Amino acid sequence: MAGQNILEATDANFQAEVLGSDLPVLVDFWAPWCGPCRAIAPAVEELAKEYAGKVRVAKLDVDENQEVAAKFNVMSIPMLILFKNGQVQDQILGAVPKVKIDALIKRSIQ
């Protein structure tokens, strides 16, 4: 389901690919049955292209990767969490406009 600029995050690779990343990582916690998740997917994919090389973007299917979702208290989706240096930097809950996600990313890379 992930696009060319989007990493498929899993319970198995989360530590290495997200927490161990040199770049900030925006993780989109989603599920295939979630309508609002599908609604924000195009905006997330556009931002992945726009910030390529500055910020990594990952999608994590909460149904298939419950361990990571539980660890970061993801109770509702879509949930976007921005990780920087292995720590939660910021987060957004719900289907929000692209401009709000963009602002979250900009704050993290300044």
Asked about 37 being catalytic, the answer comes back as yes
Average pLDDT over the chain, rounded to an integer:
95
pTM for the model: 0.95
* CA gap 88, 49 in Å, rounded: 22
* CA gap 79, 30 in Å, rounded: 7
Among residues 26, 27, 34, 104, the one annotated as catalytic is 34
Asked about 74 being catalytic, the answer comes back as no
Going from the N-terminus, what domains does the chain have, and what CATH number goes with each?
A: 6-109 (3.40.30.10)
Among residues 27, 37, 43, 57, the one annotated as catalytic is 37
Task: Give percent of the chain with pLDDT exceeding 90.
Answer: 93
What local confidence, expressed as pLDDT, does residue 110 receive? 78
Query: What is the tens place of the pLDDT at every residue in 72-91?
Result: 999 999 999 999 999 999 99
